[in-house]
């Protein structure tokens, strides 16, 4: 039998583009034609299943797929037994409670005895229980924002990113109850040979993520300030120093996190650094 693992990704929606981009950045090639529900990589032992995101936690816990990429909101809502391997940093959103704009919000007690429409009955139910609120949860699968205006519910609990959909439907956000981003999940009982392939994939994902949060920095500096500059941008092992054609000057090359670069920019300039270039890094293996 050919040794290959299966990963479930969203077929089309707010997770799919970034999921596939991450896989491509990991150097994994595959054909993704429209309407294709299954595809095998041509250069990595992995097969893709393109599914609705609702089905991904279940497929991974049943072992139909070994891995999956899904939003934490969907994962917690479906309450399936899987292992979360990694947060992926994309498809960030929040689940919030919202009520009609004209209503006066008095705190979470507002919802006592009220009727709330949502596609996330479990997450909402757990939240209300934690807050000791008794409310009626009305489960609907989509277009939740319309519920109050048609008299179906007094409040809603739904995904919010910018809040513009709420506004268009005459609602206001009053409580944030859950924060979500895309995660890589795995079946809990993977065979050892599958784990080895998963580790190779994780190694690549880590290299891509590290690359994104770091920058390659090049700058020119007078030789007398090199010690100070090296202390500000220490790099992976230590910076590269190359002499410039102009005597008494050097070019310094280093790798640092983007945050560290901005924190140190003034000190670098004060120390005499000039001609500073900041270049993206595609992958980084430490
Ligand atoms: P499917 O047809 O696969 O069931 P869907 O309609 O349930 O798709 P999408 O709207 O594509 O879901 O959203 C998929 C996931 O992306 C959500 O579960 C959530 O984790 C995340 N998400 C939703 N809305 C946003 C947003 N506005 N910004 C970023 N991420 C979002
Ligand atoms: Mg869905």
> Could you report the per-residue pLDDT of 8-21, keeping only the tens digit for each?
999 999 999 999 99
Number of helical H runs and strand E runs in the chain: 8, 15
pLDDT confidence of residue 1: 64
Dihedral sign from CA coordinates of 194, 197, 203, 206: negative
**104 DSSP 8-state letter:** P
Cα separation of 183 and 186, whole Å?
10
- Mean pLDDT of all residues in 254-275: 93
Q: How many residues does the chain have?
A: 286
- Whole-number Å distance, alpha carbon 13 to ligand 1 midpoint, is 6
Pocket lining: 161 vs ligand 1, CB cutoff 6 Å: yes
Q: Is the pLDDT score of 253 beyond 80? A: yes
Q: Each residue of 210-241: pLDDT tens digit?
A: 999 999 999 999 999 999 999 999 888 999 99
For ligand 1, pick from 8, 9, 15 the residue to mutate: most ligand atoms within 8 Å of CB.
15
CB atoms within 10 A of CB 69: 26
Q: Is the pLDDT score of 202 beyond 90? A: yes
Please give the model's pTM, rounded to 2 decimal places.
0.91
**79 DSSP 8-state letter:** T
Q: Is the pLDDT score of 163 beyond 90? A: no
* Residue 34 confidence class, pLDDT cut points 50, 70, 90: confident
Determine contact, residues 143/105, Cβ cutoff 8 Å.
Answer: no
Pocket lining: 91 vs ligand 1, CB cutoff 6 Å: yes
Give the position, in ligand 1's atom list, of the atom nearest the Cα of 14.
11
CB atoms within 10 A of CB 224: 10
Residue bearing the CA closest to ligand 1, atom 19 = 71
Give the position, in ligand 1's atom list, of the atom nearest the Cα of 10.
3
Nearest Cα neighbor of 178 from 163, 157, 162 is: 157
- Mean pLDDT of all residues in 134-139: 97
- Whole-number Å distance, alpha carbon 141 to ligand 2 midpoint, is 9
Pairing of strands 93-100, 155-160: antiparallel
- Whole-number Å distance, alpha carbon 283 to ligand 1 midpoint, is 28
Task: Enumerate the β-bridge partners of residue 93.
Answer: 180
Pocket lining: 119 vs ligand 1, CB cutoff 6 Å: no
Ligand that comes closest to the CA of residue 51: 1
pLDDT confidence of residue 71: 98
């Amino acid at each position: 039998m050919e040794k290959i693992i299966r990963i479930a990704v969203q077929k089309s929606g707010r997770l799919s583009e970034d999921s596939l981009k991450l896989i491509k950045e990991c150097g994994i090639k595959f054909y993704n034609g429209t309407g294709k529900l299954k595809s095998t990589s041509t250069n990595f032992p992995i097969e893709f299943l393109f599914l609705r995101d609702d089905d991904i936690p279940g497929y991974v816990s049943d072992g139909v797929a070994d891995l999956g990429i899904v939003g934490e909101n969907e994962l917690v809502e479906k309450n399936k037994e899987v292992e979360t391997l990694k947060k992926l940093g994309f498809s960030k959103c929040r689940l919030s409670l919202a009520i009609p704009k004209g209503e006066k919000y008095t705190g979470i007690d507002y919802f006592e005895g009220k009727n709330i429409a949502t596609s996330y009955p479990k997450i909402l139910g757990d939240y209300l229980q934690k807050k000791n609120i008794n409310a009626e949860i009305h489960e609907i699968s989509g277009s939740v924002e319309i519920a109050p205006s048609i008299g179906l519910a007094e409040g809603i609990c739904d995904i919010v990113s910018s809040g513009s959909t709420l506004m268009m439907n005459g609602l206001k956000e009053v409580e944030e109850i859950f924060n979500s981003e895309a995660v890589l999940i795995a079946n809990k009982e993977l065979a050892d040979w599958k784990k080895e392939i998963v580790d190779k994939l994780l190694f690549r994902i880590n290299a891509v993520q590290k690359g994104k949060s770091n920058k390659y920095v090049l700058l020119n500096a007078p030789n007398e300030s090199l010690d100070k500059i090296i202390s500000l941008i220490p790099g992976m092992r230590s910076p590269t120093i190359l002499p410039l054609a102009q005597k008494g000057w050097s070019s310094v090359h280093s790798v640092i996190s983007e945050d560290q670069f901005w924190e140190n920019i003034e000190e670098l300039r004060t120390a005499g650094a000039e001609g500073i270039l900041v270049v993206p890094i595609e992958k980084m293996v430490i």
